[in-house]
A and B are shown apart, each in its own frame.
Chain A
């Protein structure tokens, strides 16, 4: 019996420290993975919106990064589900959300919105790359001797081309039209995908910090910000790798060089494309950042001004307990600093990347402050709960909902992207695709 006493740790107890009066069942039930969930869906939605800026609104300057953003958004997609699976107490039953959705719940929309979105992104990629698929298919079929890798690639292309081998002018035009239509539908769906993540929090009437109709809008804006920032960083890094690979002739890192021969990739050209795309995208980052910060500040100011019953405890949380996390880390380092860095004249790739890194950190802190901050106080408004992120796991729970689980979620999209890029070269330039 004594041993059992030591082992009976209820969910949330391992990382929650209670202070003053907190109800016996109150713990930080939604921990790091629920911070990761809106963060990752935000990146998905943001990357997609960035790609749509080119496809729908014909922002020519974003042409190259748009295609990359689309593929990266697809790589991020399965990862948006990962934190939820790691968070669920019964992960094997996660499928029930799709099978028996209970439509009064905001979470039940997840299956439908997520699948719709996945179909749209998948279809858009298919139309963008159809010409490439068919060309690669024909090229590989024409080869008399194929390596193992090429045979596998041929099989994949045969399957995903879906037998649509028509490359006539009319067919390509139809592809372009379809891309535009899908990107157009995709924007509201992407916003819905993320806006509804905001709704999940904003509609919890029991939580004084979360409950505001602004929440979905704030989430969408910060999603676009984080998505663009991640695209800038990863685009710059991948281009850096490509430049390195092009110089050394490491064609396994350059799928388009495999397709078109070594001459297809030129280092100087890559450098100019990289610098142009990164600085242009940074401008759009600034626009969306302004919008996001305005809304977030509006929320805080409004709460302070109306000062309803819950404000007493919220003020303690915002201005005392979480002051460093909110005003220094989120607004200072995550918003103000990158804002200044981006506005200073003569923007270079390196500076844009640094600013984007800070922005990504800022958006992460915003998610943290919403999710963890919302659980930092008791329902009775009489006590506090401090969250301690488990760093070294000592059981499956502290692994899943600890630092390692979060790192797993962050690294997975890059692994997926690496393999996806083999089949769908994200950095391929104009001559092949829309």
Chain B
């Protein structure tokens, strides 16, 4: 066989094989099994019920091996204080790991601040966690496909494949991502995927003494979360980014971003 012919035949063979093999990619049996049209995880936060105890933050960190002393967290609780002068002051010291036990507002480098009780018009707490967006910006920007969306809508990170570039952290409009201080890869809330996919509850929802947090299946019309999303006036965070979040809030204020 001539060298030219050999190269030609090789090229034809390789392209022929790769085209037929690529069909397997289209009908990956594992993917078919994983895609479950009857299940879409969603989350409901009732801000009226939250008292800012921080139990959810602690439970999450312990459950998911995020060191308690590290200043990053998969879920956190923000405090909002609005004054008569129209000012909104927010704080979230260490993600509210220790809960809010003082009236002093932590303004980081600007120090502590105390707003007199008579100045306050309203104050409330807002728990935050990953929104498991339907069109997640973090999945879009991951250069190696290490972060991905499961068939039931949860966004996960492959710790063995993440290169630690931080693009997903930059891409998330909600600031839920961070670098795990020990694993040194991107990390985020998974809705406790390891628990919910075995029929369990998320650590944060289980730890919440007041039922402010609830996980549920948005595709099941009898699910309490799906019902609340349908029947109550709920809102999502930062819809302007087009990420279609799946964490719904009851009692969401305009000031909450």
Contacts and interface: CB of A to CB of B under 8 A. Distances in A.
Interface of A: 4-5, 8-13, 17-27, 29-30, 84, 87-90, 93-94, 96-97, 100-102, 104-108, 110, 200, 203-207, 378-383, 386
A5 B69 contact: yes
A25 B172 CA distance: 11
Nearest to B89: A21
Given A8-B69, A93-B161, A206-B137, 14 more contacts: A10-B178, A11-B179, A18-B109, A24-B73, A24-B95, A26-B175, A89-B163, A93-B162, A94-B163, A96-B161, A104-B139, A108-B144, A206-B172, A381-B257
A30 B170 contact: yes
A102 B164 contact: no
Contact of B143 (A11, A87, A107, A204): A107
B137 to A, nearest CB: 6
Q: Which of B128, B165, B178 has its CB near the most chain A CB atoms (within 10 A)?
A: B165
Q: Which 7 pairs of residues, A with B, have the shortest CB-CB distance?
A: A89-B164, A107-B143, A102-B145, A23-B175, A206-B173, A24-B95, A25-B178
A13 B92 CA distance: 16
A23 B71 CA distance: 11
17 contacts: A9-B181, A10-B71, A19-B107, A21-B92, A24-B71, A24-B76, A26-B175, A29-B169, A30-B166, A104-B141, A108-B143, A110-B143, A205-B242, A380-B257, A381-B257, A383-B108, A386-B109
A96 B91 contact: no
B170 A90 contact: no
B144 A379 contact: no
A8 B72 CA distance: 10
B153 to A, nearest CB: 18
A323 B173 CA distance: 26
Given A4-B69, A23-B175, A94-B163, A107 B170 contact: no
Given A89-B185, A204-B170, A206-B137, A97 B143 contact: yes
A88 B165 contact: yes
Given A22-B108, A88-B164, A89-B185, A29 B144 contact: no
Contacts of B91: 21
Contacts of B221: none
Interface residues on B, range: 35 or more
Contacts of A27: 178
A205 B241 contact: yes
Contact of B90 (A9, A96, A382): A382
B171 interface: yes
A4 B167 CA distance: 28
Nearest to B106: A21
B181 A105 contact: no
Given A13-B71, A107-B167, A379-B174, A90 B90 contact: no
A22 B178 CA distance: 14
A421 B172 CA distance: 45
Contacts of B217: none
A4 B69 CA distance: 8
Q: Which of A18, A30, A380, A382 has its CB near the most chain B CB atoms (within 10 A)?
A: A380
Given A5-B69, A29-B166, A205-B173, A21 B143 contact: no
Nearest to B73: A24
A25 B177 contact: yes
Interface in B130-169: 137, 139-146, 161-167, 169
B211 interface: no
Given A10-B178, A11-B181, A204-B170, A101 B144 contact: yes
A25 B175 contact: yes
Contact of A24 (B92, B109, B179, B184): B92
Contacts of A13: 71
A20 B108 contact: yes
B71 A204 contact: no
B22 interface: no
Contacts of A386: 109
A8 B181 contact: yes
B176 interface: yes
Contacts of B72: 10, 24-25
Contacts of A24: 71-73, 76, 92, 94-95, 175
Nearest to A7: B69
B209 interface: no
A29 B170 contact: yes
B222 interface: no
A112 to B, nearest CB: 12
A202 B217 CA distance: 36
A393 to B, nearest CB: 18
A18 B181 contact: no
Contacts of A204: 141, 170-171
Contact of A88 (B139, B141, B163, B242): B163
Contacts of B69: 4-5, 8
A19 B178 contact: no
B138 to A, nearest CB: 9
Contact of A29 (B94, B108, B179, B257): B179
A206 B170 contact: yes
A68 B151 CA distance: 55
Contacts of B109: 17-20, 386
